[in-house]
Amino acid sequence: MSALPYGYHVRANGVRLHLLRYGGSGPTMLLLPGITSPAITWGFVAQRLARHYDVHVLDFRGRGLSQSGPGLDASLDAMAADVIALLEAQGWQDTWVLGHSMGARVAIRAAAQQAQRMGRLLLIDPPVTGPGRRSYPAPLSWYVDSIRLATQGTDADGLRAFSPTWTEEQLRLRAEWLHTCDEAAIVQAYNGFHQDDIHADLPRLRTPGLLMAAGRGGVILPEDLAEIARLAPGLVQCTADNAGHMIPWDDEEGFFALLGQYLGCSFDTV
């Protein structure tokens, strides 16, 4: 397993962004987590990715150790601008961008606006909600209630009801870091799931990539995959049949098997 070399900060798009860097050799990979997932919670994924990539995991604004505070713009456009500015500030070229859930939506918006520095998109179960579309399956209260509990101080047992299938280690890490997710930023991002039209960005994608759907997540349905295939034919599609929305948490080996098939490399633990 790769060690964590360091965490670091970058000033980009007028805010301070914090990242964790895993691994060394190979193409640069920027990992964009979901709505309430600070960078450290993706460490178990980043460690395995770091066998083949130089992996950097972003704390989105309003989360983890990145800039937060009252009045912070946590919209999809602001986060996409952060990613574009980060790539420019770091001088990264042909970057592989892996985004999960909200992070995948941010990757889509950023790539549609400015794809010059992106080499490949790896989109993991992005919400396909938007104006005039069905609601996101998880209610806002799920996020707000768990954040408030974590802010007061809780442990793995306190969060178990929110994520009953997670391991003790996963719950402990979430209990430690969830309080860093600013409630106002999370509410704005969640509302953006329903207000931002990500489908309008899909035909503008020129970056090839992978779209991985969760077979048991209820976020992307078969009819959504068919629509996306028409809008973005450059995305190869696959489905993690045995996983819910948090694919690596539910089926880590299945996740890496599918990813390895697309990337042409192995992430086996042996």
The domain over range 6-133+197-263 is classified in CATH as 3.40.50.1820: yes
Least confident range from 2-11, 40-49, 248-257: namely 2-11
Q: Residue 31 and residue 50: Cα distance in Å, rounded?
A: 11
Read off the pLDDT of residues 63-81 as tens digits, 9 standing for 90 and up: 999 999 999 999 999 999 9
In the sheet with 95-100, reading across from the earlier edge strand, the strands are 6-12, 15-22, 54-59, 28-32, 95-100, 118-124, 209-214, 235-240
CA 266, distance to chain mean position in Å, is 22
User: What's the mean pLDDT when you consider all of the chain?
Assistant: 95
Confidence of residue 3 (pLDDT cuts 50, 70, 90): low
Least confident range from 110-114, 214-218, 245-249, 265-269: namely 265-269
Read off the pLDDT of residues 5-22 as tens digits, 9 standing for 90 and up: 799 999 999 999 999 999
Q: How far is residue 36 from each of residues 14, 39, 63, 207, 267, measured CA to CA in Å?
A: 22, 10, 7, 26, 26
- What φ, ψ does residue 83 adopt, rounded to 5°? -65, -45
Indicate whether this model's pTM tops 0.95. Answer: yes
Q: Is the pLDDT of residue 1 over 90?
A: no
239, containing H or E segment: strand 235-240
Alpha helices (H) in 29-139, listed in sequence order:
43-49, 76-90, 102-113
Q: Is the pLDDT of residue 270 over 70?
A: no
Q: Give the pLDDT of residue 25.
A: 80
Whole-number percent of the chain with pLDDT over 70 = 98
Q: Is the pLDDT of residue 134 over 60?
A: yes
Closest to 82 in 3D by CA, of 55, 54, 116, 59: 59
Beta strand extents in 105-193 (DSSP E only): 118-124
**Mean pLDDT value of segment 180-188:** 98
Read off the pLDDT of residues 204-248 as tens digits, 9 standing for 90 and up: 999 999 999 999 999 999 999 999 999 999 999 999 999 999 999
DSSP class of 196: S
Read off the pLDDT of residues 19-42 as tens digits, 9 standing for 90 and up: 999 977 899 999 999 999 999 999
